[in-house]
């Protein structure tokens, strides 16, 4: 359900109507995209009832998330910000929180953390911040990175807990001087697929796949260069690229590179897709060539859940999920030659592919599931409500 912040009467008594006594957590999110961090939020909302909590959303930049999310039964309030520094949004969030009997605020971006700190001061309620990526190296826009870091640092003075999605991110936050007693690590997770269709061995032409909100830090240029190297060696592969481009300008840059390299006939661009698992099952290998700015990418875990070996760059928390030579292969970021060598070594080696496929899916099911993630977050909530 989607509720405008200006029309709360229909849900103010929702808890009493449903008879549900579980504490409610209001997730403050941007909402314009539906990529990795948004998948975390969506999965948490669906899994948290198993651990005694209900989730709702306050969306400050309504876009794809309200319509695409699977957690449609959870409340979603459109508390739109009129600008990046529309601090009056905090009053709208506070009203949603009070009128709907929420107990904890949980922010997911620097923008929503700012609003969360201001709202929590009014409400005198616990505030949690989910650290999905290192804000200081989130993009190539240096000024924006510095501005977001400053905003995040100021706002973090008001939080009760920081949930980092990887040990790498926890170390980053400690290096910035944030209170280590407030920092904990809860690895990202995705739903295990227990009825996973049997995986056939790759055919003569291997399909390399990638999936992202395509933007400079995702390293798509490196993957394209590696694809050109494979073509020059007459290695028969295709690339299935799933996801939208962040901007038209960046899309034009990438397509110009494709034309220059002469690899257009090897690539299928699908655009934004909601059926993530269906798209992944069309791939033999998943490649994530990120340059920086990753926490613990959800798409890596989703690939593992589908028994697809991952070839990914040694960035942030990626090696914490993908064990090099076991669940997939790790290459050096920005190094197209290294990526091409890793791909060449795996393509055609069906025994190695089968071993990695089995290892990847087992690791995801036991250590990187949506339930393990929700259990960890619920433990944080439990500590806050007891204190």
Question: Could you tell me if residue 180 is inside a domain?
Answer: yes
Question: Could you tell me if residue 193 is inside a domain?
Answer: no
Structure tokens at 1: 């359900």
Whether residues 126 and 156 share a domain: the answer is: yes
| pLDDT reported for residue 144 | 75
The CATH number that applies at residue 285 is: 3.40.50.2000
Whether residues 117 and 224 share a domain: the answer is: no
Instruction: Enumerate the β-bridge partners of residue 310.
Output: 286, 328
Whether residues 360 and 378 share a domain: the answer is: no
Residues 6+ apart with CB under 8 A from 109: 29, 30, 37, 132
Whether residues 113 and 222 share a domain: the answer is: no
SS3 category, 44: helix
Cβ atoms 83, 111 nearer than 8 A: no
Whether residues 43 and 114 share a domain: the answer is: yes
What domain range is 263 assigned to?
A: 206-367
Whether residues 363 and 377 share a domain: the answer is: no
Structure tokens at 240: 């299935």
C-alpha to C-alpha distance for 177 and 179, rounded to whole angstroms: 7
Q: What is the pLDDT of residues 99-156, one digit of tens each?
A: 999 999 999 999 999 999 999 999 999 999 999 988 877 666 677 778 888 889 999 9
Question: Could you tell me if residue 259 is inside a domain?
Answer: yes
C-alpha to C-alpha distance for 254 and 235, rounded to whole angstroms: 22
Whether residues 331 and 257 share a domain: the answer is: yes
| pLDDT reported for residue 9 | 34
C-alpha to C-alpha distance for 375 and 387, rounded to whole angstroms: 19
Question: Could you tell me if residue 381 is inside a domain?
Answer: yes
**Residue of 22, 26, 23 lying closest to 8 (CA atoms):** 26
Long-range contacts at 86-95 (CB < 8 A, ≥ 24 apart): 87/114, 87/115, 87/118, 89/60, 89/115, 90/115, 90/118, 90/119, 90/122, 91/119, 91/122, 92/5, 93/26, 93/28, 93/58, 93/119, 94/119, 94/122, 94/123, 95/5, 95/8
Whether residues 152 and 238 share a domain: the answer is: no
Whether residues 184 and 222 share a domain: the answer is: no
| pLDDT reported for residue 384 | 97
Question: Could you tell me if residue 136 is inside a domain?
Answer: yes
* DSSP letter (8 states) at residue 215: -
| pLDDT reported for residue 139 | 63
Question: Could you tell me if residue 113 is inside a domain?
Answer: yes
Whether residues 379 and 320 share a domain: the answer is: no
- For the chain, the domain total comes to 2
pTM higher than the cut 0.75: yes
| pLDDT reported for residue 17 | 35
Question: Could you tell me if residue 198 is inside a domain?
Answer: no
Residue 306 sits at the vertex; the CA angle it makes with 245 and 264, to the nearest 5 degrees, is: 40
| pLDDT reported for residue 12 | 34
**What is the DSSP pairing of strand 2-4 with strand 206-211?**
unpaired
Question: Could you tell me if residue 133 is inside a domain?
Answer: yes
Whether residues 147 and 280 share a domain: the answer is: no
**Residue of 151, 265, 286, 149 lying closest to 211 (CA atoms):** 286
- pLDDT by 10-residue block (mean), the chain, 387 residues: 39 39 95 88 96 97 93 96 90 98 96 96 97 79 79 92 96 95 96 87 93 94 98 96 96 98 97 92 96 90 96 95 97 98 95 96 95 97 94
Structure tokens at 100: 């709907």
| pLDDT reported for residue 71 | 96
| pLDDT reported for residue 13 | 36
Q: Could you give the maximum distance between any two Cα atoms of the chain, in Å?
A: 66
Whether residues 137 and 211 share a domain: the answer is: no
Helices (H), the chain: 14-18, 36-47, 65-68, 89-99, 110-123, 142-156, 167-175, 220-232, 248-261, 276-280, 298-305, 318-321, 336-346, 350-367, 370-386
| pLDDT reported for residue 69 | 95
Q: What is the pLDDT of residues 172-222, one digit of tens each?
A: 999 999 999 999 999 999 999 988 888 888 988 999 999 999 999 999 999
Residue 283: its H or E element: none
Q: Phi/psi zone of residue 364: left (φ > 0), alpha (ψ -120 to 50 degrees), beta?
A: alpha
| pLDDT reported for residue 357 | 96
| pLDDT reported for residue 94 | 98
Cβ atoms 133, 108 nearer than 8 A: no
Structure tokens at 181: 């007693």
């Amino acid at each position: 359900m989607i509720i405008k912040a200006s029309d709360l009467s229909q849900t103010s008594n929702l808890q009493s109507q449903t008879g549900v006594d579980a504490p409610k957590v209001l997730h403050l999110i941007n909402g314009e995209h539906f990529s990795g961090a948004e998948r975390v939020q969506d999965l948490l909302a669906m899994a948290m009832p198993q651990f005694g909590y209900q989730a709702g959303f306050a969306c400050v930049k309504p876009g794809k998330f309200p319509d695409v999310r699977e957690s449609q039964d959870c409340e979603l309030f459109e508390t739109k910000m009129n600008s990046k520094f529309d601090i009056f949004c905090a009053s709208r969030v506070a009203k949603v929180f009070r009128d709907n009997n929420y107990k904890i605020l949980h922010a997911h971006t620097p923008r929503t953390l700012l609003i969360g700190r201001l709202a929590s001061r009014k409400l005198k309620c616990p505030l949690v911040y989910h650290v999905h990526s290192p804000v200081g190296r989130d993009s190539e826009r240096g000024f924006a990175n510095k501005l977001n870091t400053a905003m995040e640092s100021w706002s973090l003075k008001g939080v009760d807990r920081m949930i980092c999605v990887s040990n790498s991110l926890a170390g980053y936050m400690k290096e910035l001087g944030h209170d280590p007693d407030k920092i904990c690590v809860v690895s990202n997770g995705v739903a295990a697929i227990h009825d996973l269709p049997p995986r056939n061995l790759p055919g003569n032409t291997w399909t390399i796949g990638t999936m992202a909100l395509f933007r400079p830090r995702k390293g798509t240029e490196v993957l394209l260069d590696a694809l050109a190297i494979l073509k020059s060696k007459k290695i028969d592969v295709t690339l299935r690229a799933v996801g939208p481009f962040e901007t038209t300008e960046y899309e034009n840059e990438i397509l110009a590179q494709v034309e220059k390299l002469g690899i257009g006939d090897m690539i299928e661009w699908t655009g934004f897709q909601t059926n993530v698992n269906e798209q992944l099952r069309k791939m033999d290998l998943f490649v994530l060539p990120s340059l920086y700015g990753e926490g613990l990418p959800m798409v890596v875990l989703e690939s593992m859940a589908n028994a697809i070996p991952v070839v990914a760059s040694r960035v942030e928390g990626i090696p914490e999920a993908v064990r090099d030579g076991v669940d997939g292969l790790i290459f050096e970021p920005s190094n197209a030659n290294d990526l091409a060598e890793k791909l060449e070594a795996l393509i055609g080696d069906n025994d190695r592919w089968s071993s990695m496929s089995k290892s990847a899916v087992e690791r995801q099911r036991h250590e990187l599931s949506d339930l393990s993630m929700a259990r960890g977050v619920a433990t944080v909530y439990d500590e806050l409500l007891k204190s």
